[in-house]
C-alpha cells in the first residue's frame, strides 16, 4: 500500500456525498455566495451527478469511506481533499487558508480516528496548508504550492513532519492570479496521472518548477487556455493512465488519449464547476497500490 502517490491504482479513499455537504436547498442558499461559488448549485441535479460520480469508484473496486454530515462545516466540505494529507505513517490534518472552511480539518480528524486511521500530525496556526496545494511527484518527493491558502509556516511544519519519513519537500511559489478570494491551488495547474506523465497548465506554472518536472522525466500534457476554467487540468488518476475528469474538456481529453490514457468523464456542472472543485478536490485518497 502506498499513500505517497497520485497515480497508483486507487485502493482506498474518503469522499463526502453531496447530500451530506450540500444538505438541502436552504443550506445552499445560505452559503454559496459567501463561499464564492460561480453559481448556486441545484440540489436535485447535484445529487444525481454525485451518485454517478461515486459509482465510478465502486466500479473500479476502490474501498470507499464516507465523511458524515457535520454541523460545524458547510457545503465546501464536499471538496474533501483539502483538509488532510495522507502519508505512509498516517494522516496530516491541515489548517485551512479559507476562513469559511476552518472547521473541516477537525471534522475529518474525527472521521479518521473513528475508522482507526492514525494521525501523524496536525498543522497549527499561524501555519496554513490545504491538500489541493500538495502533490506527490514520487514516493519520496512532495511538491507544495506556496499560495494564498498555504503559507510559509504551514510548509515548514509539514516539512518537519515528513523529514523522519525521508521525504523531500519542494516548495512551488505560485502566482497571484485572481487574488486571495479565488480557489487557486498547485493542483489547479498540475495533475500527475502516471509516474512519468502529468497534466499541466503551463501559463501559471513557475518556470523553475516546470523545468523540474521535465528533469524528473515527466511528459507534460498541456491544457489549452480554453479549458482551464472548465477544470481541464483537474484530473484524478484511478490507476496509472486511467484518468477521471469533468466532462467538457475535449482537447485535454484527446491529448491524454494520445499519451496512452483511458479517460473517464463525469457530469460535474453542479458538484464541480460551480464550486471550482474537480475530481481531485472531491476525493481524499488514502492508499494506492
Model confidence pLDDT, tens digit, residues 183-223:
899 999 999 999 999 999 999 999 999 999 999 999 999 99
21 within some domain = yes
2 within some domain = no
Alpha helices (runs of H) in the chain, residue ranges in sequence order: 18-21, 25-31, 43-59, 104-114, 152-162, 207-215, 250-258
Closest CA to 181 of 98, 84, 109: 98
Low-confidence stretches of the chain (pLDDT < 70) are: 1
Question: Total structural domains in the chain?
Answer: 1
Q: Which domain holds residue 83?
A: 10-288
273 within some domain = yes
Query: What is the predicted pLDDT for the residue at 183?
Result: 84
57 within some domain = yes
Query: What is the predicted pLDDT for the residue at 1?
Result: 66
4 within some domain = no
Cβ atoms < 10 Å from Cβ of 212:
17
Tell the residue number behind the cell numbers 523553475, with chain if given: 208
Closest CA to 48 of 79, 16, 19, 75: 19
Strands 10-15 and 63-66: parallel
149 within some domain = yes
Can you give the pTM of this predicted structure?
A: 0.96
130 within some domain = yes
Rounded Cα distance, 40 and 21, in Å:
14
Find the CATH number of the domain harbouring 205: 3.75.10.10
Amino acid at each position: 500500500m502506498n499513500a505517497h502517490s497520485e497515480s497508483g491504482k486507487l485502493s482506498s479513499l474518503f469522499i463526502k456525498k453531496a447530500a451530506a455537504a450540500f444538505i438541502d436547498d436552504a443550506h445552499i442558499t445560505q452559503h454559496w455566495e459567501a463561499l464564492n461559488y460561480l453559481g448556486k448549485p441545484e440540489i436535485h441535479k447535484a445529487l444525481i451527478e454525485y451518485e454517478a460520480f461515486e459509482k465510478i469508484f465502486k466500479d473500479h473496486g476502490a474501498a470507499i469511506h464516507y465523511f458524515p454530515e457535520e454541523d460545524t462545516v458547510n457545503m465546501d466540505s464536499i471538496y474533501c481533499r483539502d483538509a488532510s494529507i495522507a502519508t505512509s505513517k498516517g494522516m496530516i490534518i491541515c489548517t485551512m487558508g479559507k476562513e469559511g472552511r476552518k472547521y473541516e480539518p477537525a471534522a475529518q480528524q474525527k472521521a479518521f480516528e473513528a475508522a482507526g486511521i492514525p494521525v501523524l500530525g496536525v498543522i497549527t496556526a499561524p501555519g496554513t496548508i490545504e491538500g489541493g496545494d500538495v502533490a506527490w511527484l514520487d514516493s519520496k518527493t512532495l511538491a507544495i504550492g506556496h499560495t494564498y491558502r498555504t503559507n510559509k509556516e504551514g510548509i515548514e511544519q509539514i516539512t518537519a513532519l515528513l523529514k523522519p519519513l525521508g521525504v523531500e519537500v519542494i516548495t512551488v511559489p505560485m502566482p497571484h492570479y485572481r487574488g486571495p478570494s479565488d480557489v487557486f491551488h498547485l493542483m489547479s495547474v498540475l495533475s500527475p496521472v502516471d509516474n512519468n506523465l502529468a497534466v499541466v497548465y503551463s501559463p501559471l506554472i513557475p518556470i523553475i518548477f516546470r523545468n523540474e518536472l521535465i528533469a524528473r522525466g515527466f511528459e507534460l500534457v498541456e491544457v489549452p487556455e480554453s479549458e482551464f476554467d472548465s477544470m481541464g487540468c483537474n484530473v484524478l488518476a484511478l490507476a496509472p493512465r486511467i484518468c477521471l475528469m469533468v466532462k467538457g474538456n475535449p482537447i485535454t481529453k484527446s491529448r491524454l488519449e494520445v499519451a496512452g490514457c483511458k479517460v473517464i468523464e463525469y457530469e460535474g456542472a453542479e458538484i464541480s464547476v460551480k464550486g471550482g472543485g474537480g475530481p481531485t478536490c472531491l476525493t481524499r485518497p488514502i492508499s494506492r497500490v
